[in-house]
Structure 1
Amino acid sequence: MNPAPQHPSIGHGRGPAGGRHPDYTRLASVGPYFALDTSATTTPPPGFRPLPELYGTGPDAPLAARVRMVAQRLGTTELRVAASILHLGLAARFWSVGLGSAVLLGTVPTLECAWVRIPDQGPIDLWTPPEPARPTSESLVDQLHRAVLIGQLEPLAAAVRAAVPLSARLLCGNAASALAGTLRVLDSHAAGPARELVAQLLDRPPLTGSGTLLTGPRGAAFRRTSCCLYYRIGPGAGLCGDCCFTRPPARRQ
């Protein structure tokens, strides 16, 4: 059963009363990308490392090793393709936690004390110690912009680009695409608040101009102004549903 949606104020930071712990366990019922472990312990479960370590650089950095693994699984020798696909999935993970919390719980976790575990397959595991919600004058869109875009996606993009050269515009398009994909999942839970927040985020730098969002009775659709390079995996890969291209470009030799 899906959790009953709460409809928090989009314009003001209204959330759980100060001192109360948001029930982040509700997010997992939406899907694995939304899950945030806040088990009541002072130390993370085994195998976790501080989230900032994910954004380390160098040949032995977690993301550099993960890019090589993703390339092997995709069957491509182009590391930039693997890096883009990896970045897209990680962006979706952070947006899911942030946007899901905003529309269902009326608050946004900062993830400042979060820990991460990278499984062999599937979305990364996130754990954060339980932290009471504190009253804030920030709007939910301001909280999302600060906690997700600035707090996570900026260092993530820098770490990805340190591992494999990719254009900032492509990674910005990935961030917007991941946000729109999160909206499509949440549309059946709290369509109004989710659509409003996503529209506001897409209208803010650095996502401004990254694509066009259309919403209607049949759901939300997004067309980005860049390409994630997925088509370069192979002749049968095709294009993503929100790609800027209408047919795969001719591959350069």
Structure 2
Amino acid sequence: MVLLLLVDLDLAALHPLGGFFVLRTAGEPHLHLPTLTRVYEAPGPDVHADALTARVRRVAAALRTAEPRVAASVAHQGLAARLWSVALGCAALTGRVPDLDARLLHWDPDGSAPDDLWLAGARALPGDAATLAGTVLLGHLEPLAAALRARHRLAPGLLRGNAASALAGAARQLDGWARRHGRTDTAARARSLAADVLSHPLLAGAGSLTGTAFRRRSCCLYYRVPAGGVCGDCCFPGPPRSSPRATSG
């Protein structure tokens, strides 16, 4: 009961940040949605029952792109941003992280952005960098990347860059919000935690972090979306004209 109260209070602290930081909890109509454990599993013979493929198709339609790997990259970064935002936000604001076990976290593949997530459980974990990396990077982004690579031609370096970029983006949003509200301690914790997690062997070398400014060493392929351009942290100063092979590593 105490742990449930702690997690509810921790998640409530994220509400003022809105958007990517809010996590719904049990009591919402989530039980018909797949858990992320199921999402990360290898697809069965019926591709229409594959939630991850359905999500990529939805993103492709929204972006008006005929390239599934582009939509897969954008879908990957969107979910990564949600997971990092919740975990890093709680760690920076409360010093704890909710247990985002993939078996307890439900996801709506048909939802709009930011991705809809429901947590059907409550357990508070320490809010240190090692726990953050274990919870999000090992618990979610590694199996998610493997699932996407099994379905689409996505280079490991691209997915690693997406994961690092999403973390840096969450830290940047937290830092800005905390500074605007006089929470310099929260801003400092967000920056420190993000820097520590970005040094993890699975993210090291994905980009360079200076303060809250991040520059990745790979491209997420968003420039291939009609009128997409390049992202603010892209390795390219402008949309490249070379072969797509040069953008995926």
TM superposition score category, shorter chain reference: 0.7 to 0.9
Distance 2:161 2:152 in 1: 17
- Flag the 1:86–1:45 CA change in 2: closer, same or farther, 3 A: closer
TM-score scaled to structure 1, two decimals?
Answer: 0.82
Q: Look up the SS of the partner of 1:206 in the other structure.
A: coil
Q: Look up the SS of the partner of 1:108 in the other structure.
A: strand
Instruction: Give unmatched runs, 5+ long, in structure 2.
Output: 179-185, 245-249
AA of the residue aligned to 2:189: P
Q: Which residue of 1 aligns with 2:232?
A: 241
Deviations 1:33-77 (A, max 9, x none): 1112234x5x86454332212213323311112112211221111
- Flag the 1:21–1:214 CA change in 2: closer, same or farther, 3 A: same
Q: Which residue of 2 aligns with 1:53?
A: 38
Shift of residue 207 of structure 1?
0.5
AA of the residue aligned to 2:18: G
- Flag the 1:221–1:141 CA change in 2: closer, same or farther, 3 A: same
AA of the residue aligned to 1:227: C
AA of the residue aligned to 2:143: P
Distance 2:23 2:62 in 1: 26
AA of the residue aligned to 2:37: P
Matches within 5 A, 1:91-102: 91-102=80-91
Distance 1:96 1:74 in 2: 23
Does the CA contact (< 8 Å) of 1:232 and 1:251 recur in 2?
no
Select the residue among 188, 202, 206 that pairs with 1:192: 188
Shift of residue 142 of structure 1?
0.8
Q: Which residue of 1 aligns with 2:52?
A: 63
- Flag the 1:230–1:19 CA change in 2: closer, same or farther, 3 A: closer
- Flag the 1:29–1:69 CA change in 2: closer, same or farther, 3 A: same
- Flag the 1:73–1:83 CA change in 2: closer, same or farther, 3 A: same
Distance 1:133 1:174 in 2: 27
Select the residue among 223, 226, 229 that pairs with 2:221: 229
Matches within 5 A, 1:149-168: 149-168=137-156
Instruction: Give unmatched runs, 5+ long, in structure 1.
Output: 1-16
- Flag the 1:170–1:18 CA change in 2: closer, same or farther, 3 A: same
AA of the residue aligned to 1:228: C
AA of the residue aligned to 1:90: L
Q: Look up the SS of the partner of 2:159 in the other structure.
A: helix
Percent of aligned pairs sharing the same letter: 46
Q: Which residue of 1 aligns with 2:67?
A: 78
The structure with more helix, counted as a fraction of residues: 2
Select the residue among 14, 20, 23 that pairs with 1:33: 20
- Flag the 1:103–1:250 CA change in 2: closer, same or farther, 3 A: same
Does the CA contact (< 8 Å) of 1:47 and 1:117 recur in 2?
no
Deviations 1:214-236 (A, max 9, x none): 11xxxx211000000111113x3
Deviations 1:191-228 (A, max 9, x none): 1000000111111111000111111xxxx211000000
The number of residue pairs the alignment matches comes to 227
Shift of residue 100 of structure 1?
0.6
Shift of residue 185 of structure 1?
0.8
Distance 1:38 1:77 in 2: 35
Q: Which residue of 2 aligns with 1:177?
A: 165
TM-score scaled to structure 2, two decimals?
Answer: 0.83
